């Protein structure tokens, strides 16, 4: 009986062993299948990535070829632009009469200009400082033909002037003027004009900065606002010529009124021209907004002397009599201090915002007013006064006529 039980037990153990072995084998088989599937999937992904890498190499090779061909394409494009615009750009000449102890003396002046069609009226656009006070004005085309011209309208505050000419329609090939509102620093620009009398000269550069201000004696101390700064060489004789984008469209009017500005050129933005043309074409004065203050840029040293924690903005030094600023209660400087050997009038309001827009300096202030406001408009100016921030509402006036 005992022997029989032992045999039975051995049989049971054998069955259990076989069952466990079968289960283990099945589990291992399933695991192997699972691993094989994972391996197949990873192999598929590796093959897919290999194809993508190969495709990217082909694309990179293609792009390298395209990049190598860009200089010739760019040169061709510039040549094409010049061919399209050269006949629309003129040399503007005139004479200024000066009284001397020996009688009248005639001084020749020269600049550039371009043809433009404003609402069906063909005009020549140039700088005010080129033709201001001139007689016997003429415009000469690249083919050598010269015709008389007359001033229709001008604005010393923006250094713009428009002329009429008796040139025949066959000579008048207008350029396209587009908005300058979308210009970006670094954008390629082209200037065409007559530097030093060299008619039809073309230079290329980039936009170096936007919203600059420049001064000119004819403005009576006011700054010309919202000016484009460019690396394209702008020399005497270029003044009044077009600043173009790479499509050959006018985005500015070059001006060379800043003396000794080597390597730095300036242009009046096309938006200023488009904004003023409805007035200039009728010989009317464009109404520039007027705040009526004089001041200086804030800096660290001034802020330290005034015990302020604001190092940016525009410090009001003087509020003009009967100006919008005076009527609104803006305050000018109260006393003079010496900062690094320079007398500075401090104690006035520091303008830091207009209508919620940050004002970092005088360029920002002048540009904001010129771009975004008009006479009789009320604006909110945020100032720092005696260490406290407050808002002042000012109703702008019309800037007095220069001269």
Contacts made by residues 383-389, CB under 8 angstroms, sequence distance 24+:
383/316, 383/330, 383/349, 383/350, 383/351, 383/352, 384/308, 384/310, 384/313, 384/349, 384/350, 384/352, 385/331, 385/349, 385/350, 387/307, 387/308, 389/352
159 catalytic? Reply is yes
Concatenating the DSSP letter of every residue in 339-393 gives ETTEEEEE-S-EEEEETTEE--SHHHHHHHHHHH--TT-EEEEEEEETTEEEEEE
239 catalytic? Reply is yes
170 catalytic? Reply is no
Catalytic residue among 88, 158, 194, 239: 239
Catalytic residue among 129, 158, 180, 364: 129
Residue 175 tokens, joined: 């350029």
Catalytic residue among 132, 159, 226, 363: 159
Start-to-end CA distance of the chain, whole Å, equals: 137
Q: In the Cβ-directed half-sphere of 152, how many Cα atoms lie within 13 Å?
A: 20
Whether the CB-CB separation of 394 and 383 falls below 8 Å is answered with no
Q: What are phi and psi for residue 279, nearest 5 degrees? A: -90, -50
Active-site residue set: 129, 159, 239
């Amino acid at each position: 009986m005992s022997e029989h039980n032992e045999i039975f037990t051995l049989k049971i153990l054998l069955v259990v062993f076989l069952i466990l072995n079968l289960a283990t084998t099945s589990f291992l088989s399933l695991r192997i299948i699972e691993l094989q599937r994972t391996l197949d999937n990873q192999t598929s992904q590796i093959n897919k990535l290999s194809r993508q890498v190969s495709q990217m190499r082909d694309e990179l090779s293609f792009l390298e070829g395209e990049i190598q061909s860009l200089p010739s394409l760019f040169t061709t494009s510039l040549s094409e632009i010049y061919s399209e615009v050269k006949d629309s750009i003129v040399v503007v000449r005139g004479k200024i009469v000066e009284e001397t102890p020996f009688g009248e003396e005639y001084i020749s002046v020269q600049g550039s200009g371009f043809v433009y069609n404003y609402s069906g009226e063909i005009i020549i656009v140039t700088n005010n400082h080129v033709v201001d006070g001139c007689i016997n004005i003429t415009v000469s085309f690249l083919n050598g033909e010269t015709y008389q011209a007359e001033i229709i309208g001008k604005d010393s505050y923006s250094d713009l002037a428009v002329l009429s000419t008796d040139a025949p329609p066959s000579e008048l090939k207008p350029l396209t003027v587009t908005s300058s509102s979308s210009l970006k620093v670094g954008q390629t620009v082209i200037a065409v004009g007559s530097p030093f009398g060299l008619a039809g000269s073309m230079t290329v550069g980039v936009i170096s900065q936007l919203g600059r201000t420049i001064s000119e004696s004819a403005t009576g101390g006011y700054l010309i606002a919202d000016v484009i700064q460019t690396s394209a060489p702008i020399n005497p004789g270029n003044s009044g010529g077009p600043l173009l984008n790479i499509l050959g469209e006018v985005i500015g009017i070059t001006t060379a009124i800043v003396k000794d500005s080597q390597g730095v050129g300036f242009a009046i933005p096309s938006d200023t021209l488009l904004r003023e043309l409805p007035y200039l074409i009728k010989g009317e004065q464009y109404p520039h907004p007027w705040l009526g203050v004089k001041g200086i840029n804030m800096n660290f040293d001034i802020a330290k002397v005034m015990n302020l924690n604001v190092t940016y903005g525009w410090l009001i030094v003087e509020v003009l009599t009967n100006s919008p600023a005076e009527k609104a209660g803006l305050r000018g400087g109260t006393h003079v201090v010496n900062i690094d050997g320079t007398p500075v009038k401090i104690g006035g309001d520091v303008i830091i915002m207009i209508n919620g827009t940050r004002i970092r300096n005088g360029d920002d202030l002048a540009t904001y007013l010129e771009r975004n406001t008009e006479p009789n408009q009320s604006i909110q100016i945020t100032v720092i006064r005696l260490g406290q921030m407050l808002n002042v509402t000012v109703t702008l006036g019309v800037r007095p006529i220069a001269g």
